[in-house]
Amino acid sequence: MSAHNDKLIIAGREFNSRLMVGTGKYADFRQMVQAIEISGAEIITVAVRRVNITDRSKESLLDHIDLKKYTLLPNTAGCYTADDAVRTCRLARELLDGHKLVKLEVLGDERTLYPDVVQTIAAAEILIREGFDVMVY
């Protein structure tokens, strides 16, 4: 199989692109959508704690992303404990209609953003038991 035909398979889903792009740090939603489209990525990471996905009366990035075209990868950026990370993943699953695929990161150091390995493993064990498909950062 050539590299051009080699699919990326995550949690039983096939992707043509291995590139994953985030939704943060853009000037506005228009710029975010343009960057995502130009990138060719099919997976978009979303920091659940840093974006509005709960208050549907306010503009949300979910208003701008075609969920039939892209797979969202909610992540636990900004979480410092296993409990916070697990709670964040449960919230994402609830808000995204049972979405199971998550990117797990539990920080141990605010300055370097190095992970807290013990807390990350603890969170991963819980999430896997609860049926999540966990990608650890």
DSSP 39-77: HT-SEEEEEGGGS--S-TTS--GGGTS-TTT-EEEEE-T
pTM: 0.87
Mean pLDDT of 5-26: 93
Q: Please report whether residue 34 resides in a domain.
A: no
> Residue range 94-103: average pLDDT?
91
36: in domain: no
When divided into structural domains, the chain yields a total of: 1
Q: Which of 58, 69, 100, 103 is catalytic?
A: 103
Q: Tell me the pLDDT band of 52, cut-offs 50, 70 and 90.
A: confident
Domain for residue 59, yes or no? yes
Whether residue 98 lies inside any domain: the answer is yes
Decide if 100 is catalytic: no
Range(s) of the domain holding residue 103: 44-136
- Please check whether residue 60 lies inside any domain of the structure: yes
CATH number at residue 87: 3.20.20.70
- Span 38-58, mean pLDDT? 86
Half-sphere exposure of 102 (CA within 13 A, CB side): 33
Q: What percent of the chain has pLDDT over 90?
A: 77
Instruction: Judge whether 131 lies within some domain.
Output: yes
Distance spanning both ends of the chain, measured CA to CA: 28
pLDDT in tens, 112-126: 999 999 999 999 999
CB 101 within 8 A of CB 117: no
**Average pLDDT for 30-41:** 97
> Could you tell me which residue, 62 or 66, shows the higher pLDDT?
66
Instruction: Note whether residue 9 is domain-resident.
Output: no
Cβ–Cβ < 8 Å for 70, 42: yes
In a domain, 105, yes or no: yes
pLDDT confidence of 49, banded at 50, 70, 90? confident
